[in-house]
Amino acid sequence: MKHSIKARFAVIFVCLMAFVLVSTWCVNNWFLESFYTSDKVHTLEKAYMQIDRVVEQANESGKGIIEYYKDTYDPDFKNEGPAQKMFRTMGEKYNLMMVLIDSTTDEVLMLTNGDQQFLKNRVEAYIFGKNVPEASILKKHDNYIVQKTYDRRSDSYYLESWGYFSDNKTIFLISVPLASIRESVDLANRFLAYVGVAALFVGSMFIYLATKRIVSPILQLANLSEKMSALDFEAKYTGKEEDEVGVLGNSMNQLSDTLKDTIGQLRAANEKLQKDIDEKIKIDEMRKDFIANVSHELKTPIALIQGYAEGLTEGMAEDPDSRDYYCGVIMDEAGKMNTMVRQLLNLTALEFGNDSIQPERFDLTELIRGVIGSAGILIQQKAAEVKLEEGGPIYVFADEFKIEEVITNYLNNALNHLEGERKIVITAEENGEEALVTVFNTGQNIPEEDLPNLWTKFFKVDKAHTREYGGSGIGLSIVKAIMDSHGKSCGVRNVKGGVEFWFTLDCEKENL
């Protein structure tokens, strides 16, 4: 990843720590010495003010500071006076060496550990200006000064304040050794470098782990967004964080669910719309085919009726036999047109649900016998042999009138396509809770690719729509519509020696 947040966090943290370390090193190197000196100067000024207050108290009691100190001095520190306690505390806390000299009695009071003679000589040198050591004045007050002094004997520096207290008779010298601040600064910087490198390493590991913990949920969210972009809404954010990232993850989960539902609805609507479009296209094609088929079916009878009617008008059939023949053709063709129109109206009513079924209980076997009996003359004309194979009464629950039409259409279809032995075998049998009726006729098998299309209006295996069989191609469509209205099945299959059509109905026992 080119611009990783984890890498940027690590770089920022390392740079920040490095900046802090370098800044600390610079401050130590450039300002620590002056700060140290300034702090010691402030300590000397504070010590002067505290001792001066004690001097004032001693003068008010009619005694000098030296005599006042000695009167309250306790070598065991059990009953020490306020002056002794103050001097001891300053010596122990600030490492001060103090000497007081009464200028009237030349009496010396050494208040802390140190070389008494050395301090006394140093005071006298300052007072009389003899053998004054190298010194630089840091602060100058009315009664005393604060200076930095170099001692050749010990090759070290001291901060010293000397002068008079407010009684103008007590001379003092307060000295504090000034440690080698430069050496201390170098040591501190070296120690800081060691600690800084270790802190930088440990901090880098910590920031790496911390940023990894922070970035991992973000990467998971990024992966989740990629899957959502690819319309994969099964992926979910599984983090348990309760911070902003966790809130974002839960929001993305909700967004994923919402998008899944919405897109699912859109897909369903789109599929429905596509089905409607396909259905519309199918209906348009069916309408075109319907118009073409109806036109084709009506063209021949209308042409025959028109031709024979014109022949009668022009006197071509003067003798009675010719006139009877012409009129017979006209009546026959008109009857066919009337039959086709009635079948179309019947089929339309069935398809649009306007012709509802009236189910009742009846004997299916007896109905089949009646249909065969009614078609006796047609069977003789076709020189057909029709046989009913049945095993007794079969009671079904259906619309008897429409089932009679189904059987009639099957029988007429079989008569129109008889070949070979010219046999038709109708069977009726119970098959569990259903009754199965089959109509077999000898003849040629139907091409397998045409079998599903037999139920389509005006479809004929004879592509030229010749009038050889006399059918209109609507009968089987009516059969399919009737069986669909009953919620039952129908079909056709090629068998050895011919073709077999079938349909099923719900049985109803006699004792019901």
Question: CB of 357 within 8 A of CB of 398?
Answer: yes
Q: Is 95 exposed, middle or buried (0-12, 13-18, 19+ CB in 10 A)?
A: middle
> What is the domain partition of the chain in residue ranges?
5-184, 356-506
3-state secondary structure of 114: coil
pLDDT digits (tens, 9 = 90+) for 203-218: 778 777 777 777 777 7
Confidence band for 512, pLDDT divided at 50, 70 and 90:
very low
Q: Token pair of 422, please? A: 């010219």
Q: Write down the pLDDT at residue 291.
A: 65
Is the confidence at residue 277, as pLDDT, over 70? Answer: yes
pLDDT digits (tens, 9 = 90+) for 143-154: 899 998 887 777
CATH class label, 5-184: alpha beta
Question: CB of 54 within 8 A of CB of 64?
Answer: no
pLDDT digits (tens, 9 = 90+) for 72-117: 777 777 777 777 788 888 877 777 888 888 888 878 877 766 666 7
Q: At what angle do helices 181-229 and 5-60 cross, to 10 degrees?
A: 150
Is the confidence at residue 416, as pLDDT, over 60? Answer: yes
Name the CATH topology of 356-506. Heat Shock Protein 90 (3.30.565)
Is the confidence at residue 427, as pLDDT, over 90? Answer: yes
Is the confidence at residue 47, as pLDDT, over 50? Answer: yes
Residues in the chain: 512
pLDDT digits (tens, 9 = 90+) for 131-143: 677 788 889 998 8
Confidence band for 298, pLDDT divided at 50, 70 and 90:
low
Handedness of CA 436, 437, 439, 440 (dihedral sign): positive
CB neighbour list of residue 54: distance below 8 Å, 6 or more residues apart: 65, 68, 82, 83, 86
Examine domains 5-184 and 356-506 and report if their fold is the same: no
